Amino acid sequence: MPLVTLSEVLQPALRNGYAVAGVVTLGWEDMCAFVAAAEAENVPLILQAGPGCRAHTPLPILGKMFVHLAERASVPVVAHLDHGYRFEECRQALECGFTSIMFDGSRLSINENIDKTGAIAQMAHQHGMSCEGEIGFVGYAEGEESLGTDPEESARFATETGIDAMAISVGNVHLQTNAGGLLDEARIQAIESVTEVPLVIHGGSGVPVEQRLSLAANTAVCKFNIGTELRQVFGQALRTAVNSDPERYDRVAILKDTHEPLMAATQRVLQSVTPQQ
């Protein structure tokens, strides 16, 4: 089926009490495993090209890869630009076939974040596509500290930008290598009480499975970004594949051995954000 927009998968999630995984891609092998897992679970999927992915592979190539996979998939697939920092980068993504763009203005002042995110959301909507914005800075494990989302500012941000999804900072951090502390559910409730937009949790790898399921079923959190958790599985599978036969040198054969472990891990992730109906 053809690519779909972020709104087309998040609005049903918001109405029906589940979430969709935004999986962070780095290359062809993980993209294929992610889509295969979504098909096996019969759930929608958001393929995300973040800054690291874009530094490795040009946007026009990534767009073609995403489109190719989506057109052959049996489930809805979103092509999403994750953490776009410049207007030009977001514009290029739309021209390359992406159906959703995330502008990250979380380090900016509230007024500048609203102005820039609103302009990019307008551009996305003119193309018939979706836009995710971020209010409140989500930090990094062993790095920059988070700045929690202010509920009153989030209400203004959602209304004035016209975004389709809002990433929030509620105790989540990027690059968490194990399940960390619980998210601040009181802050989430305060945010969703003054907004109507689907909410997004970046750094979803650090959120315990039980809380993912609970938030997906009972709150406006409709998207969990998952990267580190799956990259760890890929890395371990690659090490095993390389070490299993020191004489093997063909990288296609080696990388093929990562597919099954990564697909299985992705299925577990998808099950952790979509409660059984």
Active site residues: 82
DSSP string, 170-224: SS--BT-SS--SPP-HHHHHHHHTS--SPEEES-GGGS-HHHHHHHHHHSSEEEE
Amino acid letter, 192: E
Using the Cα atoms of residue 171, residue 23, residue 263 and residue 211 in order, give the sign of their dihedral.
Answer: positive
Kindly state the tokens that stand for 115.
């102005």
Q: Convert 192-230 to b/e letters by CB count within 10 Å (16 or more is b).
A: beebebbbbbbbbbbbeeebbbbbbbebbbbbbbbbbbb
> What's the rounded Cα separation, in Å, for the pair 115 and 54?
25
**Unique residue bearing structure tokens 């890929």:** 234
111: how many CB neighbours lie within 10 A of its CB? 10
Using the Cα atoms of residue 195, residue 123, residue 65 and residue 84 in order, give the sign of their dihedral.
Answer: negative
